[in-house]
Chain A
Amino acid sequence: MRAGWVRALWTTDHKQVARQYLWGGFGFLLLGGLLALLIRWQWAWPGQPVPGLAWALPESRGALTPPAYTVLFTLHGLVMIFFAVTPLLFGALGHFVLPLAIGARGFAFPRLSAAGFWAYAVGGALVLASFAVRLGPASAGWTSYPPLATPAFTPGVGQTLMTVAILCVGVSAFSYGLNFVVTVVRCRAPGMTWGRMPLVVWGLFYGAVLNVLFVPVLAAATLLLLLDRVAGTQFFIAGAAAVGGGGDPIVYQHLFWLFGHPEVYILILPAWGMVGDFVAYFSRKPAHGYRLTAGAMGAVTAMSGLVYAHHLFTSGLSPVLGRAFMVLTLLISLPAEVMFLNWLMTLWRGSVRLTSPMLGALATMIVFGLGGITGLVLGAVATDVPLHGTMWVVGHFHLTMGAASFLAVFAGLYFWFPKMYGRALHEGLAKAHVLSSAVLFVGVFGGQLAAGYAGQLRRLYDPYQYTYLKPLLPLNQWTTACAFLLGASQLLFVGNLVWTLWRGRAAEPNPWNVGTLEWTCAASPPAPDNFATVPVVLRGPHVLSQPDVQQQLGRDWMGQAEVAPLGGTE
């Protein structure tokens, strides 16, 4: 007999697992965000005590010391990527939407999805536990490069705990990746052909494929690193840190980025899918070039494992390899460009409705576009070499995988929240949240780009120890002000969420007037097995503003499984 709390926690219902991931992801988003604000504090007021932090750092009366600072930027990166954004995109939104959107009653492996969540939860618990051990949490940077991440230079238990925690989220990511792939391939409803899947399903599917292919690479590298830490092996300890023989730390960089660059696409593919769907839904037009968009996303997925070494241009890579990876890196922007143009074409002369998910999608497009353009100079060897060590890199990747993924998460959340909880969020607050976040993201990461272009190095505890960086203090203070405002603007969301869950009004069955299965065939929130009867899909996801539908049904949309009264309208 199982206790009640076990039944509540060990759930194999994909919607319940999604909610668990959602709350876990929000918790770590909050933690990662607060860490980011502390980093920003240090760059605006270096060495000044942080108000209210004296209890944590009594020796310095609350001022950030160099070890505290390295902990902050290490944990910020790891927490945001592995414990906040990926779990929110795949764990929360992906788990919730994917089976519903393809007309499945659940995942192919429901217990695997539950086990995946608990692997994530254990990893999260280890991260939190690492704050309590001697020498504090991990501090070798989010990439955990050896030899810095070996016990020779980061001896604390915290780094070991973090290494185990990354293995845990690796297990989690691999298990939902596998689950998503098998579910999309095997469990689609009758009539749900590949060409009728919503673009978000394509995005999740491609992202899941990348998870299956590349998360094991990260797991392998991390496991070897763990052995170096606890078992005395020397896979990555070399040179100064090893006496005789020893492995090669550069191998770790190759393994890490062979995962790390696809990870960037893992974080953005579901976002691209959502943008593709939302611009269609809220322009009340079919997605322009649906097949081309899905194909472009596939092309990016296929190429994503072939570009990783642009992270190593400054690591002593052979110039021949550097040139090859430069060409591949710049090539990958072509399919992305195709996709981008299709979104613009969808918007063109559409009947645009600026709902909160639409604002989120447009904001995602804009910040991702900015991030993409600022990335071109990092893809080319000649311009990467001087910029690689600077804040330019930080601004660039935060725009792409930070701001864009974050805004896409909220676009998706605002879109599917009524389906998840059966209650409608306050639309005005949601719009204010998305807009203020987008503007402030551009402020923060634009400020970092400017600082990077001016030469500010990106890993410095106190940049102003360099005379040539002293004039950048006002710029950094301005950026920090934007960051604090960005943090404060999240209260718009928190307030909205708390109010809605407490006493928000019940959501309408199909508030966005779209035809996908989750809105037209399932209750809000959906029943445990999703559908009363498995829908038979008749058409694609973007049947919008079609004249004959409008004529016959008096509305501008039609459900994917809706039987047309007079036939036709495929």
Chain B
Amino acid sequence: MSRAARWAVVLGLVLGAGCRKEPRPVLAPLKLADGRTVSVATLERGRDVYTYYCASCHGERGDGQGPAGTGMRPVPRDFRQGLFKFGDVPAGELPTDAALKRTLRRGLQGTPMFAWDVPEADVEAVVQYLKTFSPRWTQEAPGKPITASEDPWRGREAEAIERGRTVYHVAGAGNAGCSSCHVAYLPRAELAALVEKVTGRKVNLAGADPYTAQARESDHPVAWDAKGEPAKMARVLPPDFLFQAPRTVFPVDATVEGRPYSAQAQREDLYRVIASGVGGAAMPTWKGAIPEENLWALAYYVQTLVDLRDTSEARALKERLRASPAQ
């Protein structure tokens, strides 16, 4: 072998070692249960985008166990479950593409799920790719999208807030009774009086603490056994709106998707989350469970709480509530 040929062989070996093909699962076209078929090209692009942006937390296998995701609370979503918190559909059903894309573009407040500045084509590709992780997508169609009805309280905000306060604090008779999981925002005496007025029931709040939320069971795993099956589920704390930012509702005037976020948009987002519920968590779907006007009233009322978040007024209110006597 001439010297030149020997050098060529050495060069080839070095280059070959450098370029050794990595094992990469072959992707097949994905036949979704809603009749659409996702092309291999889209899935491949989606996998690249997923590797760039998502895999470090959500894991290469979509299991929510990426190296940077360990120990995160809330845990990064396990895409193998096909279960999403914010899907614009009755809680627990498969989400719409629009909802997934909104989460990706806006991010989830208070979590490391940021507002990802990803080109539109890449958002589309990665949303389709994450459907390869769960067989649900090939077996059932996404839920029926929950859309906002006409706001019946327009021009009657004060009235809406008043009604919303009742819907929030009282259970039954078309009211939601949110305060039984989330905390109450009325002093004990007022709370008891309101319940009695609406339901006729007398309640004694002397020994009760309606101002501290309790964590609730969820369907979202935080630990997995050796087989990859969920071993322990996350307990989710219903947000206290005075102190905890709702994940998908932003402060008024924040820049969301490049635009200023209006009070109207904030109210609609509150309506959307309340109406749909939160998939896998204790928050049920309220659309259809209470009258539409009460649902909107609730959005108006919760908005007043969200706007108070992290103000001195909120802290003072909390102090007042905790100190309130029973009667």
Contacts and interface: CB of A to CB of B under 8 A. Distances in A.
A58 B48 CA distance: 14
Contact of B19 (A118, A147, A161, A462): A161
Interface residues of B, number: 31
Interface in B18-40: 18-20, 22, 24
A126 B117 contact: no
A66 B67 CA distance: 20
Q: Among the interface residues A61, A65, A133, A161, which one has the most CB atoms of the partner chain B within 10 A? A: A65
B70 A240 contact: yes
Given A129-B18, A160-B18, A153 B67 contact: yes
Interface in A152-209: 152-153, 155-157, 160-161, 164-165, 168
A140 B195 CA distance: 59
B173 interface: no
Nearest to A165: B18
A324 interface: no
Contacts of A1: 2
Contact of B68 (A47, A58, A66, A153): A153
A1 B5 CA distance: 11
B121 interface: yes
Q: Among the interface residues B2, B60, B119, which one has the most CB atoms of the partner chain A within 10 A? A: B119
> Main SS of the interface on chain B?
helix
B68 A59 contact: no
Contacts, number: 78
Nearest to B116: A66
Given A66-B52, A155-B51, A122 B11 contact: yes
B117 A462 contact: yes
Nearest to A160: B18
Contact of A126 (B3, B7, B15, B55): B15
A80 interface: no
Contacts of B119: 59-61, 63, 65
A384 B89 CA distance: 52
B71 A161 contact: no
B63 to A, nearest CB: 14
A438 to B, nearest CB: 37
Nearest to A57: B119
B117 A164 contact: no
A49 to B, nearest CB: 10
Contacts of B24: 134
Contact of B117 (A66, A129, A240): A66
A155 B51 CA distance: 8
A377 interface: no
A240 B71 contact: yes
A3 interface: yes
Interface string A457-486: 000011000000000000000000000000
Contacts of A164: 14, 17-18
A392 B53 CA distance: 28
B39 to A, nearest CB: 15
A155 B71 contact: no
Contact of B56 (A125, A126, A152): A152
29 contacts: A2-B2, A2-B3, A10-B3, A10-B4, A58-B121, A59-B122, A59-B125, A60-B121, A61-B119, A66-B52, A66-B118, A118-B7, A122-B11, A122-B14, A122-B15, A129-B19, A134-B24, A134-B48, A152-B67, A153-B67, A153-B68, A155-B60, A156-B51, A161-B18, A164-B18, A240-B70, A240-B71, A461-B117, A462-B117
Top 3 A-B residue pairs of the complex, sorted by shortest distance between their CB atoms? A60-B119, A241-B67, A67-B52
Given A157-B20, A168-B14, 13 more contacts: A2-B3, A59-B45, A59-B122, A61-B119, A65-B118, A66-B118, A126-B15, A155-B55, A157-B19, A164-B14, A165-B18, A240-B67, A241-B67
